[in-house]
Structure 1
Amino acid sequence: MHVVLLPFGSAGDVFPFLWLGRQLKAQGHQVTLIVACVFEEIVRKAGLEVIPVGTQADFDRFIADPRVWKLYQGTKMVFELAAESTGPIHAVIESLVEKGRRPDLLMAACTVFGARLAREKYGIPLVTVHVQPAVMISAYEIPILLPGMQHLRKLPLWLRKKLVRMPNPADRFGGRAIHAACAAHGVPPPKSVWWDWGNSPDGVLVLFPSWFAQPQPDWPANTLQWDFPLEDIARERPLSDEVLQFLDAGDKPIVFTPGSANIQARRFFEVALAAITSLDRRAIFATRDLGQLPPNLPASVLAVEYAPFSTLIPHAAAFVHHGGIGTLSQGFAAGVPQLIMAMAHDQPDNAYRLEQTGAGLGLIPLTFTPRRVRSALHRLLTEPDFLEAARRCKALIQKRPCVSELMRWLETRKLL
């Protein structure tokens, strides 16, 4: 069958779809990714067909806005951009249909509203793909989207059910543009963008395991829960000789990254340098923008623009990052204690879940200071409970389900 994959976001959001594309192609299916142009080369190197959308300038302008990493403001920006992309994304799918390449199945992130519009207009089956638990809004396990929200879980269930149904960002920030796109194509608009279009009636695939996020009674009935994809293009971009030589030259380093799309991380790295200097530890700083690093880094710190975490983190003593789900899962797979500086989006929820496993600690930007980071790292490196918990998570990840079961489930979606 012809499967069209539609991720939305940065590398941590795109790589799971790349993994899905690899698995589908291995089963003999035709796969097309409709993805932001900045990922075009990566997808082509993976041997998959790609239709790039947007421009490099658009992507750079979005990630250059400091609001994207702020609580509430970042969510607002994401839903506004997602809603504005509804028409253009739908146009790409419509073009495939008009060229005689009608997809048999669409698989899209919940924020790719153009895919849902195409489902409603053409009747193409759609599977919604969730890569992080925070978007599985549940009254039984309210996601931790803001500091302190964990206390809401102590409220009576009836009250939690009312809270999760309160006005949501998808409707508030994206509703108008989505309704306009529906009107342009003669499709009845959703009464609620989130509750009517957030999960496809044809199937919902969640790419995180039950030991990390237990299924809840109010999850969609047609949900299949799988495992972390753990895709990081290590096949196409192995560790460089520079990194390998650094790893061989001394003790295990602490790896720091603020996220693949974060170019607002100058303070993150300043704090990191101060912390590892006081601990007398080696470190690797990974960032797409080396210009945001402190000047004159010591020889004990290696700066890289990219390194695949699946092959790098097993050599690390600890892993400090922003809490993106893809990054977090690589830390679990490596069995390494982690420290998260959660900023926005799903990151606070991921940090909370990390702490629940016992395999790491979480901070917020306000508390991400040299003293706090040094103290947290000292605990991660010296208290055996953290390493033991991290190794338990690694053992759980190694018990991965057979991917053929996932492929069979996806093939049945075509028949709906």
Structure 2
Amino acid sequence: MRVLFTVMPAAAHLQPVVPLAWALRAAGHEVCVASHPNMAEPINAAGLTAVPVGRVEDLGALMRSAAEDPVLEAITTSLRTDPEDLNLRNAFRYYQLAAFSLYYPTRPQEDGVRPMVDDLVEFARAWRPDLVLWDPLSFPGPVAARACGAAHARIQYGLDYTAWARQRLHELNSVPGGPVVEDLMAAAMGPELERVGEVFDEELIRGQWTVDLVPPGLQLPLDLPYVPLRRVPYDGAHVFPEWLRRRPERPRVCLTLGLSTRKFLAVDSAALIRDLLAMAAETDADFVATLDASQLRSVGTVPPNVSALDYVPLELLLPTCSAIVHHGGGGTFASAVAHRVPQLVPGPGEGGDRLAFAAYIHERGAGLMIEREDVSADTLRESMARLLHDPGLRRGTDRLHDDLLAVPAPREVVPVLERLTADHRG
């Protein structure tokens, strides 16, 4: 069969799907990956066929614009979220809906036509995939599938905030005698769907089913068809560095704040980086810190036991490490679990998966989380000592690793996708 992946224009959105794309190709299926033009090179570097569609988008500008969008605020407010659960609200408001507005503009007359939608539909009609597997933030994916009669499903690499929002809306509207809550997401989708000859239904937001990369026990409580898939770490094609071939003489610690932090949170992370380097200076270990020049500019002197490198692939670095300090990203979490490395997440921010992953690591005894208001050089130093010397955290890491191995690998999921495609294809 022919399988079309669609992904948002960011490496962190491509990397989780690459192992499944490889597995499909190894099983004899044709695979293409469609995204914005700036993703063609990393898609090709992964050994996959790229389909450039639409135009290059400034995701930073998109997020800033979405933060001030009254329509997106109205959609969120209509859900009447628990005021105590700011992470759930903010993740949906500032993360999910930002991408939603990229493809379903809330001011269509001002923002104009989105070429990504038209280009993707045109390609799907010409290539005629049997299955479209779409990034949960690449909302044109199901529209393209409809246009060519393909089956389609989301690949959920983080918590399913969109499906949660849809369930929340239906719960509010099922209260006997309660007021009807207008479906503002459907209303925002209406003009674009009408333009391409489609009519709204839930599958255009939630897919016909969902391939789920979220680890067991971390999923939101949702009654939807999920296909569990083991997250196999992949962070690009690289040359193995010579220095990584030598066994370290004392404990090695990876320190990374993720690529997204560089793009969107560089100013907010400066104080954290200073505290991390102060902690490293007083720890009997060698640190490899994936920090670029912009992150290091305001932190002063780098301690002699810290090697600050712009980038090191985690799949090569982590097998040599005794611990990792990171921002709570799902990809970094999965890499640490795959290589059985205890994790420390200091001050995870609200509005995404980072807080949820950090809490999960802590609760499962595979590492530690420090609340944002408690982060200091002292608390970091105490936590690092535990990370390096507490055997209980190592046992917790082993348990998480066992949980990971219990989830079907990509090659085991391919027959499931073949069957579901046959059942759902138009």
Assess same fold via TM > 0.5: yes
What does residue 276 of structure 1 align with?
280
What does residue 366 of structure 2 align with?
359
Instruction: Structure 2: give runs of 5+ residues left out of the alignment.
Output: 69-85, 105-113
What does residue 214 of structure 2 align with?
208
Number of residue pairs aligned between Structure 1 and Structure 2: 378
SS in 1 for 2:32: strand
The TM-score, its normalising length taken from structure 1, stands at 0.79
SS in 2 for 1:299: coil
SS in 2 for 1:414: helix
SS in 2 for 1:228: coil
Query: Pick from 370, 376, 380: which aligns with 2:383?
Result: 376
Q: Structure 2 matches for 1:228-243, cutoff 5 A?
A: 228-233=231-236, 236-243=237-244
1:229-288 CA distance string (max 9 Å, x none): 22223xx2144224546x63x31222111112211132332121011112243211114x
1:4 aligns with 2:4: yes
Query: Is the contact made by 2:6 and 2:138 (CA closer than 8 Å) also made in structure 1?
Result: yes
AA aligned opposite 1:6? T
What does residue 334 of structure 1 align with?
339
Query: Is the contact made by 1:251 and 1:282 (CA closer than 8 Å) also made in structure 2?
Result: yes
Q: Structure 2 matches for 1:13-412, cutoff 5 A?
A: 13-53=13-53, 58-59=58-59, 61=61, 75-78=92-95, 79-86=97-104, 87-98=114-125, 100-135=126-161, 177-190=188-201, 197-201=204-208, 203-210=209-216, 212-213=217-218, 218-220=222-224, 222-233=225-236, 236-244=237-245, 248=248, 250-263=249-262, 264=266, 265-287=269-291, 289-293=292-296, 294-341=299-346, 342-343=348-349, 344-398=351-405, 401=408, 403-412=410-419
AA aligned opposite 1:254? V
AA aligned opposite 2:273? F
The TM-score, its normalising length taken from structure 2, stands at 0.77
Cα pair distance change 1:346/1:198, threshold 3 Å: farther
SS in 2 for 1:182: helix
Query: Is the contact made by 1:35 and 1:51 (CA closer than 8 Å) also made in structure 2?
Result: yes
AA aligned opposite 2:44? R
Distance in 2 (alpha carbons) for counterparts of 1:338 and 1:167? 45
Distance in 2 (alpha carbons) for counterparts of 1:297 and 1:167? 58
Distance in 1 (alpha carbons) for counterparts of 2:102 and 2:385? 45
**Which is worse superposed, 24-33 or 80-89?**
80-89
Distance in 1 (alpha carbons) for counterparts of 2:20 and 2:257? 25
AA aligned opposite 2:375? F
Distance in 1 (alpha carbons) for counterparts of 2:55 and 2:196? 25
SS in 2 for 1:254: strand
SS in 1 for 2:304: coil
**Which is worse superposed, 398-407 or 387-396?**
398-407
Query: Is the contact made by 1:7 and 1:34 (CA closer than 8 Å) also made in structure 2?
Result: yes
Instruction: Structure 1: give runs of 5+ residues left out of the alignment.
Output: 143-157
Distance in 2 (alpha carbons) for counterparts of 1:167 and 1:285? 52
Query: Is the contact made by 2:131 and 2:152 (CA closer than 8 Å) also made in structure 1?
Result: yes
Distance in 2 (alpha carbons) for counterparts of 1:36 and 1:349? 29
Distance in 1 (alpha carbons) for counterparts of 2:99 and 2:207? 21
Query: Is the contact made by 1:257 and 1:322 (CA closer than 8 Å) also made in structure 2?
Result: yes
**Which is worse superposed, 79-88 or 41-50?**
79-88
What does residue 155 of structure 1 align with?
none
Query: Is the contact made by 1:3 and 1:105 (CA closer than 8 Å) also made in structure 2?
Result: yes
Query: Is the contact made by 2:186 and 2:200 (CA closer than 8 Å) also made in structure 1?
Result: no
SS in 2 for 1:261: helix
Q: State the 1:356 CA deviation.
A: 2.1
Cα pair distance change 1:17/1:316, threshold 3 Å: same
Query: Is the contact made by 1:131 and 1:325 (CA closer than 8 Å) also made in structure 2?
Result: yes
AA aligned opposite 1:390? T
Q: State the 1:61 CA deviation.
A: 4.8
Q: State the 1:12 CA deviation.
A: 3.2
Q: State the 1:404 CA deviation.
A: 3.6
Cα pair distance change 1:183/1:366, threshold 3 Å: farther
Query: Is the contact made by 1:351 and 1:362 (CA closer than 8 Å) also made in structure 2?
Result: yes
Query: Is the contact made by 1:355 and 1:362 (CA closer than 8 Å) also made in structure 2?
Result: yes
SS in 2 for 1:205: strand
Query: Is the contact made by 2:4 and 2:33 (CA closer than 8 Å) also made in structure 1?
Result: yes
Query: Is the contact made by 1:134 and 1:349 (CA closer than 8 Å) also made in structure 2?
Result: no
What does residue 110 of structure 2 align with?
none
AA aligned opposite 1:49? T
Distance in 2 (alpha carbons) for counterparts of 1:308 and 1:167? 50
AA aligned opposite 1:185? V
Distance in 2 (alpha carbons) for counterparts of 1:238 and 1:339? 28
Identity within the alignment, %: 21
Q: State the 1:205 CA deviation.
A: 0.9
Cα pair distance change 1:80/1:135, threshold 3 Å: closer
